[in-house]
Amino acid sequence: MKILEINSSVITDTSVTRAHIEKLIARLDEGNLTVVDRDLTKSIAHVSQELVGSFFTPPADRREAQKDLIKLSDVLRAKARDADAMKAYFDQLARVGVPFKYTDQGPVGLLENKKAYVVVAHLKTFLGFLGITDVHFVDATGLMMGQEAVLSRASQQLEGFFA
The pLDDT > 70 percentage for the chain reads: 84
Q: Which listed CATH number (1.10.287.130, 3.40.50.360, 1.50.10.10, 3.20.20.150) goes with 2-160? A: 3.40.50.360
The predicted model scores a pTM of: 0.48
pLDDT tens digits for 123-132? 778 888 889 8
The domain segmentation of the chain, as residue ranges, is 2-160
Residue 83 has pLDDT above 50, yes or no: yes
Residue 9 has pLDDT above 80, yes or no: no
Residue 87 has a pLDDT of 47
Mean pLDDT of 146-163: 79
Looking at this protein, which amino acid is placed at residue 69? L
- Predicted confidence band of residue 29 (pLDDT cuts 50, 70, 90): confident
Mean pLDDT of 123-144: 78
Dist CA 137 CA 122 (whole Å): 9
In degrees and rounded to multiples of 5, residue 59 shows phi and psi of -50, -40
Residue 88 has pLDDT above 60, yes or no: no
What does the buried/exposed string (b/e) look like for 111-129 if buried means 16 or more CB atoms within 10 Å of the residue's CB? Answer: beebbbbbbeeebeebbeb
Helix axes 64-82, 49-56, angle to 10 degrees: 80
Phi-psi region of 83 (alpha: psi -120 to 50; beta: other; left: phi over 0): beta
